[in-house]
Structure 1
Amino acid sequence: MHTQNLAKTLPDWHSKPFRLTRSEIANPLTVVKTFMTDFPLPEIRKTLNDWLSRVLISNAPDPLNYIWFREELERFMEACYTSQERTVEPLSRSSNFLALLGHELQGQLTGIIQALNSIGTHKQSDGTFSEEVNVYIDYIKMITLNAKTVYENMIASSVAGNGKLKILEEEMLVEPFIQSCIDSFSILSSLQNIRIDRDVFMPPGIKGVTDFVKLRQIFSNLLLNAFKYAQPESYIIARAHVYGEKMILKVISRGKTIPTEKLKIIFEPYQTLDQVNAGAGLGLYICKQFTDLLGGNIEVRSKKGLTAFSVTLSFSSVKLDKYVK
Structure 2
Amino acid sequence: MPDDKLRLDKTLEIKAKEEGFAAVGIAPGVLAPKTRERLKQWLADGSHGDMIWMESRADERSHPVHLWPDVRSIIMLGMSYAPGTDPFALEAISDHGRISVYAQGKDYHDVVKGALKRTARWLIEQAECEVKVFVDTAPVMEKPLAEAAGLGWQGKHTNIVSRDHGSWLFLGAIYTTLELEPSEPGRDRCGSCSACQDICPTGAFPAPYQLDARACISYLTIEHKGPIPLQYRKAMGNHIYGCDDCLAICPWNKFARAGAANKAFLPRAELTAPALADLLALDDASFRKIFSGSPIKRSGRDRMVRNALIAAGNSGDTALIAPVRALLNDDNEVVREAAEWALDQLALTQP
Fold match by TM threshold 0.5: no
Question: Higher helix share goes to which structure?
Answer: 1
**More strand by proportion, 1 or 2?**
1
| Structure with greater contact order relative to length (CA < 8 Å, sep ≥ 6) | 2
- Indicate the TM-score class for this superposition, using the shorter chain for normalisation: under 0.3
Q: Which has the larger radius of gyration?
A: 1
Q: TM-score, normalised on structure 2? A: 0.24
TM-score by length of 1: 0.25
